[in-house]
Amino acid sequence: MMAGAGAAVPEWRPSPNHGTRRGGARPDMVVLHYTGMTDCAAAIERLCDPSAEVSAHYAIDLGGRVLALVPEEARAWHAGVAGWGGVSDVNSHSIGIEIVNPGHELGYPPFAEPQMAALERLLGDIVARHAIRPERVLGHACVAPGRKRDPGEKFDWRRLALLGLSIWLDPAPGPDGNLPADAEAFRREARRFGYPVAAGQGWDAALLAVWQAFAMRFLPAAAAAHAAPTRAGLRHLERLAARWPAAAAGQAEAD
């Protein structure tokens, strides 16, 4: 399945790297990535290389050209070891979109305006056809915290949210906002919102990775400053989890 009548028809660049969605799963989330490579040609070469064993359904280059690599009904190999809201096989449940950007290790420039405009059109078409809720449009870092950082703190999630293509809440200031956040409260709320949170105690490395993923997504200035977990951040997560709790979505899979 390709883009519908409301979106520009992507250029077909077939990748052999895909399989069947497991357990009869259908797309109920979208995962956004950056390519983390020098240019579009290098990214497409890798996404179509059988030995690389990675792919995505779509890629968007700097000029806004959309390339279709894997049919939407197939399971692309873009998320890796990942989870969200009880779903552990993210690849079977998602559509993956790669946005050409060299990423944190290669300078990490802002995302180009033509890319964002093309993403709005493509994403709008995908979520409409598959009835994907805006809270299930996620970043790679959301589903694989600590292992992945894309699309990172420079990605404009608020822009997508204003179009109903994602979610966003502006932070609410408080008098104790800069005080340290309670680790167990953050762990509980992060799990309720959907993050794959491992068991642990205190602010261990795994929980700090979830904090960083959360900050890149919802508190980009804090992420850019490598800010430690704060009560203001915890309150922000509590508001998000109360409004969009993953557990209430009924999406957990039987493993």
> Which one of 72, 98, 153, 189 is the catalytic residue?
98
Taking the C-alpha atoms of residue 21 and residue 129, their distance in angstroms, rounded to an integer, is: 18
Tell which residue, 175, 154, 171, has the closest CA to residue 238.
Answer: 171
Q: Assess whether 98 carries a catalytic annotation.
A: yes
User: Which residues participate in catalysis according to the annotation?
Assistant: 98
